[in-house]
A and B are shown apart, each in its own frame.
Chain A
């Protein structure tokens, strides 16, 4: 698997989580009507593009490889972030309190766990 993509994605997810944490402390929502909320949403959009690239590269690698691994589970770990991040994003936008960024933070923090599991599966100890 491409380690550089994963490293970038984990970094972006942690950055977005810290950003969300700042909004929680400032008692702000993730509404796009103020700059901190708007920029966080831009970052989430970039994150989504990265996750999409990871999914495409991962599936291409899965097709090309001749190693033994559980394909369905592997694809599951690639697809799940594409569901979780937009879901958390829309739920966060619907919330007008500081619990909005909290939702987004939980969504972002779950992604590194999925990426690490995906790598364990690829490396053959799952």
Chain B
């Protein structure tokens, strides 16, 4: 019954997860969009990484909302990429700060956003694992 499984994905904790993802998708998209259009030359790497993060947040939001079995897999993939991204970019921003003249969403493990970018993909993966075990 694909409908009930999709409903399970977006209900309860899933609804909260999707809400936070949607807010981050909006924030990251708006921010990176303005930065890419108005001052791309200032910090091209940082702004491209922010745009990439924005796309991952949109993917997670859309596919968690769809919620069927294949959508869960895609959402889990985006969570995994986010987690790797925030760990790699977070570490790089501390080791080589000169490469990041302006902050990305993932700089210093998402410190500028209350470390939510670090916690969110972990919660996403835990939620999908919980759903798949039922």
Contacts and interface: CB of A to CB of B under 8 A. Distances in A.
B19 A88 contact: yes
B4 interface: no
Interface in B1-52: 11-13, 15-16, 18-20, 22-23, 26-27, 30-31, 34, 38
Given A70-B38, A76-B30, A84-B26, A106 B20 contact: yes
Interface stretch (A10-18, A36-44, A50-58, A90-98): A90-98
Contacts of B38: 70, 72
Nearest to A76: B30
A87 B20 CA distance: 11
Chain A interface: which size bin?
20 to 34
Contacts of A70: 34, 38
A102 B22 contact: no
B11 to A, nearest CB: 7
A83 B15 CA distance: 17
A95 B11 contact: yes
A91 B10 CA distance: 10
A80 B19 contact: no
Contacts of B23: 84, 106-107, 110
A99 B123 CA distance: 15
A94 B11 CA distance: 9
Interface of B: 11-13, 15-16, 18-20, 22-23, 26-27, 30-31, 34, 38
Interface of A: 70, 72-73, 76, 80, 83-84, 87-88, 91, 94-95, 97, 99-100, 102-103, 106-107, 110
21 contacts: A70-B34, A72-B34, A76-B34, A80-B27, A80-B30, A84-B26, A91-B18, A91-B19, A95-B12, A97-B11, A97-B12, A99-B12, A99-B13, A99-B15, A100-B15, A103-B16, A106-B16, A106-B19, A106-B20, A107-B19, A110-B23
